[in-house]
Amino acid sequence: MMRDGNKTCAELMDLGRCILGHRQVLPGIACMVEEIQIEGTFPDGTKLVTVHQPISRLDGELELALYGSFLPVPSLDLFTPPSSAYMEGGEGKEGAEEEEEEALGHFLTPPGATWNVNEGREITALRVTNMADRPIQVGSHYHFIETNPYLCFDRARAYGKRLNILAGTAVRFEPGETKTVALVEIAGKKVVRGGNNLCDGPVEAGKVAGIVEGLMKKGFLHEPQDEGEEGAEGGKEDEGEGRKRRKTNVLAPLTVCRAHYSHFYGPSIGDVVRLGDTALYVRVERDLTWPVGDECKFGGGKVIREGMGQATLETETCLETVLTNALVVDYTGIYKADVGLRGHRIVGIGKAGNPDMMANVTPGMVIGVGTDVIAAEGLILTAGGMDAHVHFICPQQADDALASGVTTFVGGGTGPSTGTKATTCTPAPAHVAFMLQSTDSIPLNIGLTGKGNTSRPEGLEAVVEAGAIGLKLHEDWGTTPAAIDCCLGVAERMDVQVTIHTDTLNEAGCVEHSIAAFKGRTIHTYHSEGAGGGHAPDIISVCGEPNVLPSSTNPTKPYTKNTVDEHVDMLMVCHHLDSSIPEDVAFADSRIRGETIAAEDILHDLGAISIISSDSQAMGRVGEVITRTWQTAHKMRLQRGQLQEDQEREEEWARQEEGNGWALPPGVTTENFRVRRYVAKYTINPAIAHGMSHVIGSVEVGKWADLVLWSPAFFGAKPEMVLKGGVVAWSQMGDANASIPTPEPVIMRPMFGATPGGLGEACLAFVSQKSVETGRASALGLRKRVEVVRGNRTVGKRDMKLNSALPKIKVDPETFRVTADGVHLTCEPLDVLPLAQRYYLF
């Protein structure tokens, strides 16, 4: 249509709202797609077309949708109301106006409830006249005495004050207009910097006369105002419009509706946020960006500007990057904060800004001239994900992982060799060196595991000395009790972790014999349910052992109607089996059990399985660790209801909100504890298990700044931005030739932090302590920062955050019935999952 040249840019903006309707998309899509921007070539060159609310009708005009394709236009009768399968309760209804769309990405706040703005500060009324022939607009944090010379007012009364309005908003004075505004004292150290340099220093009453005299000499208008002048705007006629101004007492305390506040600054204390299209809702537990009125807000006329939210201090004392007003979702809690970064690490979590004029700025979180800003209001911030079960089959895995929010790989392999397609082993010291060097240009943190299958220690010590951070025992190489004992012995001496894929065949012993071979030593058991491999049928019982760190791989997460059917062929390919050999088929069949897969979901919800990983391209999907974690949490919320911990906290919140007369909608409960439990499964717990939690795994001060930002509507499916070591490595990005970053196609793309020259200092290569002591690690010449793993041998199940449960698990060898502490663990497979077809075409 653009090329045809028959319609103007404005006409196409209107036409774009007619192409698709509610009946042509899944429920919730209309509220997720609030705007579409496209750049194209008109007869007069490239122009931007912006379509607001592109899905706003019941039915679209499909001839427009198929314009130029020469495809037949289908009848609208083929489209039915959106399926109620995606909606918990209720049928789809006819009519876009009546359709009960799911509120994806919207915040739930108490209707009518308010926050007090600039609470406790003295308010001053000031009469101001614009004597210029041009409009003048003044932002919330601009030192009012320093404003335009053509504004006429009592500048002495304005000394040390700013407008009493919401942070990041402004007051506009039209030419010749007089209005009365409210001012409040600046906060913090009460220092005036910048503007027109009329004051430049601490606010001191004795300076006022000299400052006023000086500014008048410079041509700034000043008109004293009587102390007793009323702080109210009059009701006089507005000559231009013929309307009466509403009489407003500017001295009255300022309040803001909580719904408006959450829209402008992101959700705050007590507000509720839905995660993606799941049944998971979280409530903001605390807000570290307060007090209300001094929030950091970047943009034209907003807060983070010179002398206002940006301090005039040395760059060395200021943040390098600040993420403003983020909703942090971490194992440590769910709360609102500014997050400050410097030197690739998180250096502050709290309130950022300018302590000269803002209240409660957290020490070490000063915004200065050397600070960049990532506006995170309305977004969710999590730690970068860690995939602790990676087969290094192809380097392209990194793209899918990063695009999903994973920033760390632990595993092994040498490429698409037959051994690597089955096992996560980097066998020889030369292989370890090669893989550390070849992954040096991949923008992920990397840790490699060697092969642990031997009953003699010599070869194992050599591969650890080469830099391996762990040893992998895999049944395809022979996971015998002798190999287990030898491997763990070397690990104990060299402080590395052991990961294990136990013996499905029960050839050298059963699960109890492998547990005996552990001898109480720490071990990370991969795919502990067993479909991914392990003692049939009861490997899942290891989840009750105090020295075992159990994990799942994602094809079985969660249990759905198609889970069992897809697994057999998957297994045959990965483990180089032959369908013409009956024993190979029997081996495959023995690993796939709906009963233990169902129990696995519940054990995750109980906190008895601590980690979720991928098993990339070897019975696992590298880009779905995070998605499947939240799908599992959703399934458990539907099938098991609210956890006891969440019920108790919800009762407390209900009592607190009672004064607002607000209750959550029917069927909605908050799941903060459950969400914290599940986010720990792919962040802090794998980091603890592999000796990396001193550097990565959570949103905490001192940790490496591997962070992921999510739009709430897309949480768990598609991140907005991925930071590696505090620099943007991957981000949603539109057409690179466009006039702005947002025209289609907007997809996850590599950014400067993912370039070979940019990733060196931002990414980590994890190695063993021995490799550093011997100089083997430094000899590799890696650009990545080399980091040593530690504490691998002292960790236990007790250290798995929010996932340390130790039930006594038994499996009936004939029926595969699973019990935990005598309780039968079973659940039905789901037919439909969230974070699926709404978000992905293929």
Q: Beta 809-811 vs 818-820: how paired, if at all? A: antiparallel
Q: What is the DSSP string of 534-601?
A: SSTTTGGGGGG-TTEEEEEEGGGSS-BTTHHHHHHHHHHHHTT--TTSHHHHHHHHHH--HHHHHHHH
Q: What is the helix, strand, coil percentage profile of the chain, to 5?
A: 25, 25, 50
Sort 350 into a burial class: Cβ within 10 Å, 0-12 / 13-18 / 19+: middle
Q: Which helix (H) or strand (E) holds 282?
A: strand 281-283
Q: For residue 280, which of 732, 833, 839, 722 has the smallest C-alpha distance?
A: 833
Coil, strand, or helix at residue 36?
Answer: strand
- Beta carbons of 368 and 312 less than 8 angstroms apart: yes
Give the tokens for residue 624: 């779905």
Report whether 263 belongs to an annotated binding site.
Answer: no
Q: What is the DSSP string of 764-825?
A: EEEE-HHHHHTTHHHHT--SSEEEE---TTT--GGGSTT------EEE-TTT--EEETTEE-
Coil, strand, or helix at residue 229?
Answer: coil
Residue 568, Cβ neighbours under 10 Å: how many?
Answer: 16
The residues that bridge with 749 in the sheet, in sequence order, are 731
Question: In whole angstroms, what is the distance from residue 423 CA to residue 617 CA?
Answer: 11
Report whether 615 belongs to an annotated binding site.
Answer: yes
> Identity (one letter) of the amino acid at 211?
I
Is 604 a residue of the active site? no
Sort 69 into a burial class: Cβ within 10 Å, 0-12 / 13-18 / 19+: exposed
Give 832's DSSP letter: -
- Biggest CA-to-CA distance, the chain: 100
Coil, strand, or helix at residue 760?
Answer: coil
Q: For residue 725, which of 384, 368, 350 has the smallest C-alpha distance?
A: 384
- Beta carbons of 172 and 186 less than 8 angstroms apart: no
> Identity (one letter) of the amino acid at 706?
D
Report whether 389 belongs to an annotated binding site.
Answer: yes
Give the tokens for residue 812: 């009936």
Report whether 472 belongs to an annotated binding site.
Answer: yes
Residue 669, Cβ neighbours under 10 Å: how many?
Answer: 18
Question: In whole angstroms, what is the distance from residue 456 CA to residue 150 CA?
Answer: 86
> Where does 405-445 have alpha helices with state H?
418-422, 429-438
Q: What is the DSSP string of 672-718?
A: HHHHHHHHHTTTHHHHHHTT-TTTSSSS-TTSB--EEEE-GGGTTT-
Catalytic residue among 524, 575, 604, 690: 575
Question: In whole angstroms, what is the distance from residue 556 CA to residue 596 CA?
Answer: 10
Report whether 22 belongs to an annotated binding site.
Answer: no
State the binding site for substrate: 474
State the binding site for Ni(2+): 389, 391, 472, 501, 527, 615
State the binding site: 389, 391, 472, 474, 501, 527, 615
Indicate which residues carry an active-site annotation: 575
